[in-house]
Amino acid sequence: MRVLLVGSGGREHAMAETLARSPALSALFIAPGNPGTARCGVNVPIGAHDVEALVTFAREQKIDLVVPGPEAPLVAGLADACALVGLPCAGPTQAAAQLEGSKSFTKEICDAAGIPTAAWERFTDAASAIAYVRRKGAPIVVKADGLAAGKGVVVAASVTEAEAAITDMMTGGALGEAGRSVVIEDCLVGEEVSLFAFCAGETACLIGAAQDHKRIGNGDTGPNTGGMGAVSPPKGFGRAEQEAALDLLVRPMLREMARRGTPFRGVIFAGLMLTDKGPSLIEYNVRFGDPEAEALLPRLTSDLLPALTALAEDRLDTAPITFSNQASVCVVMAAHGYPGTPEKGAVIHGLDNANTLEGVRVFQAGTTQNMAGDLVVSGGRVLAVCALADTVAEAQTRAYAGVNAITWEGAVWRTDIGNRAL
C-alpha cells in the first residue's frame, strides 16, 4: 500500500515507524514530516493545514490511504475532501471532528447522551464569564472553545487566576479565534488518563490507554502544555477498567453522533478523570494523542496499517489489537520558554547515542536541519525520549538515561515522569 501520513510531530514520527513495520506497506510519504520521519519514508513539503495540496499530492501519487496525525486538518475537512475524490482517509468527517474542534459541542453531546462530565457553561463575552467565575469560586477550569494545540485549558486555583485566563483568551487574543468563546466547568479531582479506541459508526474497539503529564513542572505545577511525558499502561486502569470506560463514555457518544446524522469514524481519544464517583469525561480528541502515541505505539505488536485501512472503509478490522506486556515511559524534552515562546536554533547533540541505549527510542518533534546539516531546535516540544522495559521503574530509568545522553542549550524536561505509576 502507498500511504500518506499527515503531520510533523513526535506522534507522526511514532506513527511513521509503526506503519513502516507493516508488510503491507510499499511506500510511505509524510507531509510535511521532520528529520526523524525522513528515516521512515519520504518527507513532502506540504503543510498539514493545506488540505487542497494534500489531496492533489495523494491523487498524483496514487495513494491508497491517507492517515491524519493532528486534529487541525480533520477539523478543516481533510476526510471530506478525500471522500469527494475517492481517496480513503482514516479519520472523521469535518462534522464529526467537532468533537475536538468545539468544547461546547462535546459538552452538548455528553448532556444528550447521559455521559458523566463536569458541570459547564459557555460564554461569548468576558464580563459574563468573569461574573460566573465569581459566583462559582475556585478551583475552576477555563477552556478555549476552539482548537488551541493543547494550550487552551487553564485549571485555575483562584478566582484571580481564572479571571486572568478569561481576559487573556477572550479580550487579549492570546489564542486567536479559538479563545473568542470559552467553556467554564467545575474542576474534577482524581487521576487523569487517556483512553484510545478505533470507532466506526456505533461500534468501538479498544486500543489501549496511557497517562499524560500536562503541566510544565515537576509535581504537576505550572501552566498546561501539550504534554511533557506519558506512561503506558496507566497504574490501576487495566483492560477491564478500560472496557468499562468505553461502555460509559465512548459508545453512548457514538450512538448520539449517529442519531444526529454525523457518525464518527476514526481514532477516538477520550481524556478521562478517575474520580471517587467513577470515570468522568474531560474531553474527546479525534486522533492519537501526543505524547501518548509515543508511549503507546512502541508497545503495539499487531499491524497498525490494516486497522487504519478498515477505518477508512468505515468498518473495524477483525484482527485483534495486541500489545507487549512491557511498560513504556516517555519523557518530552522541550525548548526554554515553552509553553510560551520557545527559544529556537540550538544545535542538538547526542540523539544517535540515546537511540543506541537498550529499550530507548527517540522521536523527533520540534526539530529541523540547519544549512550545515546540524539537527536544531525548531519548536516548543523538541524530542520525545521513550523507553520500554518489563517494569515502569526500569522503563523510567532507561528513558532518563536517554534524556541524559542528549544536550542542547536551554533544554528543559520534567524529572518525575512515571512516578505516579510506581
**Are 179 and 204 contacting, i.e. CB atoms less than 8 angstroms apart?**
no
pLDDT for the residue 365: 97
Q: Nearest to residue 66, comparing CAs of 7, 120, 111, 122?
A: 7
CA-CA distance, 136 to 159, in Å (whole number)?
A: 9
User: Which residue is it, cell 483492560?
Assistant: 239
Give the homologous superfamily in CATH for domain 327-413: Phosphoribosylglycinamide synthetase, C-terminal domain (3.90.600.10)
pLDDT for the residue 1: 97
Q: Rounded mean pLDDT of 8-30?
A: 98
Confirm or reject CATH 3.40.50.20 for domain 2-93, answering yes or no: yes
pLDDT digits (tens, 9 = 90+) for 155-172: 999 999 999 999 999 998
pLDDT for the residue 304: 96
Instruction: Supply the angle between the helices 126-136 and 159-170 in degrees, to the nearest 10.
Output: 170
User: Which residue is it, cell 474542534?
Assistant: 101
For residue 42, pLDDT over 90 is answered with yes
Q: Nearest to residue 366, comparing CAs of 395, 336, 387, 391?
A: 336
Q: b/e per residue, 376-393, with b = 16+ CB within 10 A?
A: bbbbbbbbbbbbbbeebe
Mark out the alpha helices in 275-388 (DSSP H runs): 292-296, 304-312, 351-355
pLDDT digits (tens, 9 = 90+) for 59-99: 999 999 999 999 999 999 999 999 999 999 999 999 999 99
What does the chain come to in residues?
422
Q: What are phi and psi of 267, to 5 degrees?
A: -95, 125
DSSP H or E segment with residue 376: strand 375-377
pLDDT confidence tier of residue 414, bands split at 50, 70 and 90: very high
pLDDT for the residue 228: 97
**Are 1 and 11 contacting, i.e. CB atoms less than 8 angstroms apart?**
no
**Are 314 and 98 contacting, i.e. CB atoms less than 8 angstroms apart?**
no
For residue 53, pLDDT over 80 is answered with yes
pLDDT for the residue 183: 95
pLDDT for the residue 149: 74
Distances (CA, A) of 55 to 2, 20, 302, 312, 379: 14, 22, 29, 15, 26
pTM higher than the cut 0.85: yes
Of all residues in the chain, the percent with pLDDT exceeding 90 is: 93
pLDDT confidence tier of residue 386, bands split at 50, 70 and 90: very high
Q: Nearest to residue 230, comparing CAs of 209, 208, 213?
A: 213
For the chain, the domains span 2-93, 119-186, 191-318, 327-413
CA 154 to chain centre: 17
Q: Rounded mean pLDDT of 385-406?
A: 98
pLDDT digits (tens, 9 = 90+) for 192-225: 999 999 999 999 999 999 999 999 999 999 988 9
3-state secondary structure of 302: coil
Distances (CA, A) of 35 to 66, 224, 295, 366, 407: 20, 27, 20, 10, 17
For residue 301, pLDDT over 90 is answered with yes
Task: Name the fold adopted by 119-186.
Answer: Dna Ligase; domain 1 (3.30.1490)
Other beta carbons within 10 angstroms of residue 352's beta carbon come to 11
CA-CA distance, 71 to 286, in Å (whole number)?
A: 7
Q: Rounded mean pLDDT of 343-356?
A: 97
Q: Nearest to residue 267, comparing CAs of 293, 243, 294, 291?
A: 293
Cα atoms found within 13 Å of the Cα of residue 381, Cβ hemisphere only: 29
For domain 191-318, which architecture applies? 2-Layer Sandwich (3.30)
